[in-house]
Structure 1
Amino acid sequence: MNKLQQALYQNFGFHTFKKGQEKIIQSVLNGKDTIAMLPTGGGKSLCYQLPGYLLDGMVLIISPLLSLMEDQVQQLKALGEKRAAALNSMLSRNERNAILENIGRYKFLYLSPEALQSDYVLDRLKRVPISLFVIDEAHCISEWGHDFRPDYSKLGQLRKTLGHPPVLALTATATKNTLLDVMNLLDLQHADRHLYSVNRPNIALKVENAADTAEKIHRTVQLVEQLQGPGIVYCPTRKWAEELSAEIKAKTNSRSDFYHGGMESGDRILIQQQFINHQLDVICSTNAFGMGVDKADIRYVIHFHQPQTAEAFMQEIGRAGRDGKPSISILLRAPGDIELQQQIIQMEYLADHEISSILSILTATEERDEKKLRELLISHGVSETQARTIIHLFLSGKTSIELMTQELSHRMELKLDKMYHLSALLEQKSCLRESLLSYFSEAYKPDHTQNQCCSRCGIDLTAYEQKGEGNKMERFDNWRSELNRIFGLQSEGELC
């Protein structure tokens, strides 16, 4: 057992690395800027967590989602690591100040790219040595990426402000154009690159066509009842997540709930923990759920609508079967699906008169703090996604209606092109896995140890169905009854 394997076992209890992890970690320990692409479930977080124990100084992790940050912090704390924190909007002012005032105590600090725009946060970070600057979901840097975040594009300059620490840029799904953009924007021209296949051969891929939406609803309920869980049903909107969960509750014995960004953060964390701890059988969710969730035994993923991009589709697929056991992804398609996704994309676009009104708001204030500007626009009915993009353009000097219209139109066309590309890919008659991998410039190498590939190559769905009676626990009704169950209390009065 070499030194790295010893550290792996001592800190995480694992005897062996997953594919690619050891090479990526060695690159980081050698002080090299590193770009790594590992498939969903490939163990990206270990690639900075293990070096964190072997390097002096703080590991700073930039992450796009609150739920992702919280989950990673909870995983570290479960391993006994007390020097981990997430600096985000879920904290009270006192909690936030306590972290910043004692910032030298932390080994792992997670924060959003937006939080890093704060001069105060930057000032505190400058006071501690940063051994590694980690950018999770690095595809968010690139306009070619499927989830572009304007604040990610500033990370290259912010890294220099923090003393130019080594970078580890991580992603699960990125095309060649996206990776080149990441390298250029972060100035990583001499970085080590460790790029591994996005293919997950243990996950069978199935596409089913339905006559209409009603048939898709019926089929979703049927699949949830038949398939061995736990599972995730991905939905295009918050409303669909709620309605499908209610339908599953009403028509099956499965314990179902919904998850989306419109919920209170505490409710989202509760749902996530219930799912992780086997108190829920299926989650109906928008695509945010599942990123970083430490649940290896998800047996199926149902895509209720076609995702917007091949990258998003591959990420949703990859939430299943992280334990390497046979799992399945089922995409349900019906007439009108493309039009719905098209409308969702076009809703982010703003007409000239809307841009004019927003510019009037921005020019009428001397405020230039991005968070406060975002809150200002949201209070005027602008969506968070629109606000982020508009403020990014405004502060970068694109302050005319013409320039903003041109930029927003360009971004909308990029998204529509990706959506149409995936739709065309799904219409092909060849192997679905081969078609998906070709999008990422990968040649498909059939894995003959896996018996099931995709619906075009032939799938026996019975292999993924429940065998006998499932071990269903009692439904979770509310926090009081759950505490009663856990602690053996007899009455609500005993909780006071």
Structure 2
Amino acid sequence: MDKLTEILKQKFGHTSFRDGQKEIIQQVIEGKDVIAILPTGMGKSLLFQLPAYLMKGTVVIVSPLLSLMQDQVEQLKMMGEKRVVAINSFLSFEQKESVFQNLSGYKFIFTSPEMLQNNRFNRALSSIQIAYVVADEAHCISQWGFDFRPDYLRISKWLQTFPKTSVLALTATATKKVVQEIKRTLHMKEPYEYVHSLDRPTIAYEVKQLDDQKEKVAWILGRITTTNGPGILYTQSRKKTESYVEELLKKGIRAAFYHAKMEQDDRVLIQQQFQQGKLDWICATNAFGMGIHKDNIRQIIHDHIPTSISSYMQEIGRAARDGKQSIASLVYTNSDVEQAFYVAMQDFPEEADIKLVYQTDDVQIQLSETTTRILNYWKEILSEQETMDLFYEIKQKKRMEIQKLFTLFQNEWCIREQLLNNFDEQLKERPINCCTVCSYGIHHVLTERTEQKEEEKQLNWKNRLNELLY
């Protein structure tokens, strides 16, 4: 047994690697920059965890979400790894200071792009040996950096302070253009690239056009209440997440809503309950998803047109991690494409906002914190007109991405084939349960909830009988 397989068995309890894992890990150990694109459920965490045990120094993992960090920290601790910490807003000032003073004692340090701008943290980092840096969910550099979280772009300058440190970029989806943006931002030097097929044969694609919103809601509630979960229902509105849950609870479905305006502790609790099987359905905005380690998600439902093919692939990829048959359903009306445009443009600054930032030093009161942060970043780099031109281009690109996905759902070509073509991949083998266009047995994919309810009744009856007897 070679050293890598030995550690795989000792530390992680596996006897063999999945496709691509060993090759990627070997490149990391050799100190090379690496871009790895693997679908959700293909073991991306192992790619940065295992090499750490064969290399000196600390691994710094830059992660986009607090919940994702906390989940990965808990996973490592459950494996017996004590030298792990997440440096984020969950820590008090005193806790952060304690961690900074003992930074060399950690093997894994999880942090956010924003924390990389903290001078105290950077002084502490400069005093320890860094084995390599990990950009987890690296597509966020392109997806969020330019228009939502500019601190993702500041990673580029931060990495220049560690010129000899290699970088491992991990993501589930990335077009060729996104890969180029990742390379440029992370200063990658002739990186080793591994691209796994993005096809998920055990996920069937279902798309249904309905006449109006009322019919759409009725369809969704009917689907959830008559078929098995676990599942995730994605919607664009925080209010809708709560409305769906209210109706599902009335019908006896164990459901909870999840959106960005909730308290962080509440979000973490709901995520844990879902992962532990205490909830069958989550009704969520796209704030829910990354870091969800639940193997048996059977259904993903969208009640809207997502903002891009990449976002859609990320969200449906949370199903079928156990390799069993699942289904991704999307229901829409003709008005949903305009609604998608409206939602996508909400967070972008208008020309008046840009002028206000460039002509005024303090605009915190007039603009949202997010808009102010975005524009202050570009103010350091671009002129007022260049910033206007940039956001005009971003808006046009967003509209095109939404229209591209909408067109994909409306035409008569295989959905699976079109999704893969977007990432320059050809469909090699069509699964039995493919998509609604191909009519490959979609109705055989779903399990009736009535069967599950009968099993639950039998189990509850046996449990009550045991309590009486013993």
Scaled by the length of structure 1, what TM-score is found?
0.87
Secondary structure at the counterpart of residue 109 of structure 1: strand
- Counterpart CA distance in 2 for 1:20 and 1:414 is 33
Aligned pair 1:382/2:368, yes or no? yes
What is the aligned partner in structure 1 of residue 379 from structure 2?
Answer: 394
What is the aligned partner in structure 1 of residue 407 from structure 2?
Answer: 424
Q: Which amino acid aligns with 1:322?
A: R
Cα deviation digits, residues 189-242 of structure 1 (max 9, x gap): 411111111111111111011111111111111111122211100111222212
- Counterpart CA distance in 2 for 1:233 and 1:241 is 8
- Counterpart CA distance in 1 for 2:311 and 2:145 is 10
Deviation at 1:80, TM superposition (A): 1.5
Q: Which amino acid aligns with 1:382?
A: S
What is the aligned partner in structure 1 of residue 335 from structure 2?
Answer: 336
What is the aligned partner in structure 1 of residue 436 from structure 2?
Answer: 455
What is the aligned partner in structure 1 of residue 427 from structure 2?
Answer: 444
The one of 392, 409, 414 equivalent to 1:409 is 392
What is the aligned partner in structure 2 of residue 230 from structure 1?
Answer: 230
Cα deviation digits, residues 26-49 of structure 1 (max 9, x gap): 111111110110012211111001
Does the 8 A contact of 1:242 with 1:284 survive in 2?
yes
Does the 8 A contact of 2:357 with 2:372 survive in 1?
no
Cα deviation digits, residues 260-290 of structure 1 (max 9, x gap): 1111110000000100111101000111212
Deviation at 1:144, TM superposition (A): 9.6
Cα deviation digits, residues 140-160 of structure 1 (max 9, x gap): 223698986422222233122
- Counterpart CA distance in 1 for 2:133 and 2:118 is 17
Deviation at 1:247, TM superposition (A): 1.9
Aligned pair 1:93/2:74, yes or no? no
What is the aligned partner in structure 2 of residue 370 from structure 1?
Answer: none
Q: Which amino acid aligns with 1:190?
A: E
Which has the larger displacement, 352-361 or 85-94?
352-361
What is the aligned partner in structure 1 of residue 446 from structure 2?
Answer: 464
Q: 1:244 to 1:113 in 2, by over 3 A?
A: same
- Counterpart CA distance in 1 for 2:203 and 2:406 is 21
Cα deviation digits, residues 275-312 of structure 1 (max 9, x gap): 01111010001112121211111111111111110000
Cα deviation digits, residues 322-346 of structure 1 (max 9, x gap): 0111111001111211111111122
- Counterpart CA distance in 1 for 2:254 and 2:297 is 15
- Counterpart CA distance in 2 for 1:270 and 1:185 is 34
What is the aligned partner in structure 1 of residue 271 from structure 2?
Answer: 272
- Counterpart CA distance in 2 for 1:163 and 1:189 is 11
What is the aligned partner in structure 2 of residue 125 from structure 1?
Answer: 125
Does the 8 A contact of 1:88 with 1:115 survive in 2?
yes
Deviation at 1:407, TM superposition (A): 1.8
Cα deviation digits, residues 447-490 of structure 1 (max 9, x gap): 4xx421111111332432236134669xxxxxxxxxxxxxxxxx
- Counterpart CA distance in 2 for 1:207 and 1:382 is 36
Q: 1:404 to 1:415 in 2, by over 3 A?
A: same
What is the aligned partner in structure 1 of residue 116 from structure 2?
Answer: 116
- Counterpart CA distance in 2 for 1:58 and 1:421 is 42
What is the aligned partner in structure 1 of residue 106 from structure 2?
Answer: 106
Does the 8 A contact of 1:140 with 1:147 survive in 2?
no
Cα deviation digits, residues 160-181 of structure 1 (max 9, x gap): 2134311101111111111122
Deviation at 1:350, TM superposition (A): 2.7
Deviation at 1:58, TM superposition (A): 0.6
Q: What's the % identity of the aligned pairs? A: 39
- Counterpart CA distance in 1 for 2:242 and 2:19 is 37
Q: Which amino acid aligns with 2:252?
A: N
Deviation at 1:184, TM superposition (A): 2.3
Does the 8 A contact of 2:433 with 2:445 survive in 1?
no
- Counterpart CA distance in 1 for 2:94 and 2:297 is 38
Deviation at 1:111, TM superposition (A): 0.7
Deviation at 1:116, TM superposition (A): 0.1
Aligned pair 1:296/2:289, yes or no? no
Does the 8 A contact of 1:134 with 1:168 survive in 2?
yes
Secondary structure at the counterpart of residue 469 of structure 1: helix
Secondary structure at the counterpart of residue 131 of structure 1: strand
Q: Which amino acid aligns with 1:107?
A: K
Secondary structure at the counterpart of residue 132 of structure 1: strand
- Counterpart CA distance in 2 for 1:7 and 1:243 is 48
- Counterpart CA distance in 1 for 2:94 and 2:237 is 35
What is the aligned partner in structure 2 of residue 81 from structure 1?
Answer: 81
Secondary structure at the counterpart of residue 160 of structure 2: helix
Scaled by the length of structure 2, what TM-score is found?
0.92
Q: Which amino acid aligns with 1:387?
A: T
Does the 8 A contact of 1:83 with 1:107 survive in 2?
yes
Secondary structure at the counterpart of residue 425 of structure 1: helix
Secondary structure at the counterpart of residue 322 of structure 1: coil
What is the aligned partner in structure 2 of residue 354 from structure 1?
Answer: 353
Secondary structure at the counterpart of residue 349 of structure 1: coil
Q: 1:146 to 1:184 in 2, by over 3 A?
A: closer
Does the 8 A contact of 1:40 with 1:198 survive in 2?
no
Secondary structure at the counterpart of residue 464 of structure 1: coil
Which has the larger displacement, 52-61 or 458-467?
458-467
What is the aligned partner in structure 1 of residue 464 from structure 2?
Answer: none
- Counterpart CA distance in 2 for 1:456 and 1:34 is 37
Structure 1 segments unaligned to the other structure (5+ residues): 365-375, 474-496
Deviation at 1:423, TM superposition (A): 1.2
> How many pairs are equivalent?
454
Q: 1:61 to 1:255 in 2, by over 3 A?
A: same
- Counterpart CA distance in 2 for 1:209 and 1:59 is 47
Cα deviation digits, residues 121-148 of structure 1 (max 9, x gap): 1111111101010001112223698986
